[in-house]
């Protein structure tokens, strides 16, 4: 296993280019050219690597680890995978990262740390049994493919602009740590567990936050989900979310803000082991909480406290706790087990600062 330093500024990082690799930072020992890094090698791109753009444009590469501390140029990850098989990945705060469809893939089968320093990366993949990918700071990425091992949020926020796909029969863990958040921000994003949903487990205390428009929670098998929150941002209620799950959620918090509303659709029944909260900020434009099929009632069982203020509810059978809908709540028809109480003086303004305690 060798250590390879990039030097000379702009160049193409592939499996054949030797002109930009040295044994020392800045090629201080004049050891270049050296072979391009391979599996197990430590790759260092630092303050002596020069400016310009390092482009990943021709083929996938496999390396041991990547450390960009001190680098101020641009790393263009492109459309080819960067596989990391033994160690950590660290981007620098002063660098620029551009992305394509090429995934940053952790394959070590060991604990590997990811530090992004505020840089948005492309697709992220954990694909090896016993993998433990641990976030060292908040991370924004594209599609997440989680087919094996553990993705440990470590109390941080992982924001995905694409699908979070965690299908298959292999053992998988999403570890939240304390207060970790998995944020689904992309339009028409899916949290897809697949038919073998019971091979996926969650640990720690955290939540899944849906802020993208059209988020779908999909699973072909019952699974115990963590707390789920869908809250509007920037003046618009983002989620038009669909729950395509016959599963259990630890708690469900759904709120609109400012001027917009959205729809929460159920194509299956759902059990909420904790509390259910539905809050609409604008009574004239309430959240729609409804069956995904008109006229086909879906049962939502809540074992904790039900708080509904200002929602429009249609084709829902409320079970478990006491279902009382207050404020400007609208009975859209087809409901049972829900009492609608209007004009009782309760406020329909959500307290958005009190969201799941995080």
Show the tokens assigned to 10: 């702009």
Tell me what the mean pLDDT of segment 182-193 comes to: 82
Show the tokens assigned to 99: 């992305």
pLDDT exceeds 50 at position 358:
no
Give the bridge partners for 336, in sequence order: 317
- Please state, in angstroms and rounded to a whole number, the distance separating the CA atoms of residues 132 and 129: 9
Closest by Cα among 224, 222, 213, 171 to 195: 222
Q: Is 192 in contact with 215 (CB distance < 8 Å)?
A: no
Q: Is 88 in contact with 114 (CB distance < 8 Å)?
A: yes
Closest by Cα among 345, 338, 343, 312 to 324: 338
pLDDT exceeds 70 at position 179:
yes
Q: What b-and-e string marks burial along 287-315, b requiring 16 or more CB atoms within 10 Å of the CB?
A: bbbbbbeeeebbbbbbebebbbbbbbbbb
Predicted local distance difference test score (pLDDT) of residue 347: 39
Predicted local distance difference test score (pLDDT) of residue 292: 85
Judged by DSSP in three states, 27 sits in helix
Residue entry with tokens 């879906």: 298
| Number of Cβ within a 10 Å radius of residue 114 | 26
DSSP-assigned states of every residue in 115-137: E-TT-B-S-EEE-STT-EEEESS
Tell me what the mean pLDDT of segment 165-187 comes to: 89
CA 21 to chain centre: 35
- Local confidence band at 245 (pLDDT 50, 70, 90 cut-offs): low
Predicted local distance difference test score (pLDDT) of residue 235: 28
Predicted local distance difference test score (pLDDT) of residue 314: 95
Over residues 32-72, the pLDDT tens digits come to: 899 999 999 999 999 999 999 999 888 899 999 999 999 99
Closest by Cα among 187, 302, 202, 200 to 254: 302
Predicted local distance difference test score (pLDDT) of residue 263: 76
CA 3 to chain centre: 33
1 versus 301: which is more confidently predicted?
Answer: 301
Over residues 253-310, the pLDDT tens digits come to: 887 654 555 678 888 888 999 999 888 777 777 788 889 889 999 999 999 999 998 8
Q: pTM of this prediction? A: 0.86
- Local confidence band at 196 (pLDDT 50, 70, 90 cut-offs): low
Q: Is 195 in contact with 171 (CB distance < 8 Å)?
A: no
Closest by Cα among 119, 16, 35 to 72: 119
- Please state, in angstroms and rounded to a whole number, the distance separating the CA atoms of residues 285 and 61: 51
Show the tokens assigned to 62: 């496999």
pLDDT exceeds 80 at position 82:
yes
**3-class secondary structure per residue, 295-333:** CCCEEEEECCCEEEECCEEECEEEEECCEEEECCCEECC
Secondary structure tally for the chain: helices H, strands E: 0, 40
Over residues 214-240, the pLDDT tens digits come to: 677 776 566 778 888 876 533 233 345
Before 33, cis peptide (omega within 30)?
yes
- Please state, in angstroms and rounded to a whole number, the distance separating the CA atoms of residues 41 and 6: 13
Report the percentage of the chain scoring pLDDT > 70. Answer: 85
pLDDT exceeds 50 at position 203:
yes
Closest by Cα among 323, 270, 321 to 297: 270
Closest by Cα among 103, 96, 62, 64 to 80: 103
Q: Considering the chain, what is the average pLDDT of its residues?
A: 86
Show the tokens assigned to 358: 């995080």
Residues with Cβ within 8 Å of 343's Cβ and at least 6 positions away in sequence, in order, are none
Instruction: At 4, give phi and psi (nearest 5°).
Output: -120, 130
Where are the chain's structural domains?
A: 1-110+119-124, 143-350
pLDDT exceeds 50 at position 139:
yes
Q: Is 207 in contact with 228 (CB distance < 8 Å)?
A: yes
- Please state, in angstroms and rounded to a whole number, the distance separating the CA atoms of residues 272 and 184: 20
Q: Which of 63-77, 161-175, 191-205 has the highest mean pLDDT?
A: 63-77
Over residues 297-336, the pLDDT tens digits come to: 999 999 999 999 888 899 999 999 899 998 778 899 999 9
């Amino acid at each position: 296993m060798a250590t390879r330093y990039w030097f000379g500024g702009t160049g193409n990082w592939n499996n054949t280019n030797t002109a930009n690799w040295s044994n020392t930072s800045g090629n201080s020992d004049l050891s270049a050219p050296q072979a391009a890094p391979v599996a197990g090698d430590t790759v260092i791109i630092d303050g002596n690597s020069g400016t310009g753009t390092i482009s990943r444009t021709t083929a996938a590469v496999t390396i041991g680890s990547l450390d960009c501390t001190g680098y101020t140029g641009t790393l263009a990850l492109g459309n080819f995978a960067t596989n990391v098989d033994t160690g950590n990945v660290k981007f620098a705060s002063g660098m620029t990262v551009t992305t394509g469809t090429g995934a940053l893939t952790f394959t070590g089968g060991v604990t590997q740390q990811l530090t992004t320093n505020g840089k948005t990366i492309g697709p992220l993949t954990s694909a090896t049994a016993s993998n433990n990918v641990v976030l060292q700071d908040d991370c924004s990425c594209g599609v997440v493919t989680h087919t094996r091992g553990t993705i440990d949020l470590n109390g941080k926020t992982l924001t995905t602009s694409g699908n979070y796909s965690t299908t298959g029969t292999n053992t998988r863990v999403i570890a939240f740590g304390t207060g970790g958040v998995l944020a689904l921000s992309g339009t028409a994003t899916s949290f897809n567990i697949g038919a073998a949903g019971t091979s996926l487990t969650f640990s720690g205390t955290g939540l899944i936050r849906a802020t993208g428009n059209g988020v779908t929670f999909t699973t072909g098998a019952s699974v115990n989900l963590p707390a789920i929150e869908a809250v509007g941002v920037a003046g618009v209620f983002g989620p038009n979310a669909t729950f395509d799950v016959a599963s259990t959620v630890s708690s469900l918090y759904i709120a609109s803000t400012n001027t917009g509303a959205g729809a929460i659709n159920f194509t299956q029944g759902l059990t909420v082991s904790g509390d259910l909260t539905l809050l609409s900020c604008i009574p004239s434009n309430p959240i729609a909480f409804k069956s995904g099929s008109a006229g086909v009632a879906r049962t939502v069982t809540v074992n904790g406290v039900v708080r509904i203020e200002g929602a429009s509810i249609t084709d829902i059978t409320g079970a478990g706790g006491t279902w009382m809908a207050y404020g400007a709540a609208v009975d859209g028809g087809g409901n049972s087990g829900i009492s609608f109480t209007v004009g009782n003086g309760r406020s329909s303004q959500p307290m958005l600062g009190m969201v799941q305690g995080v």
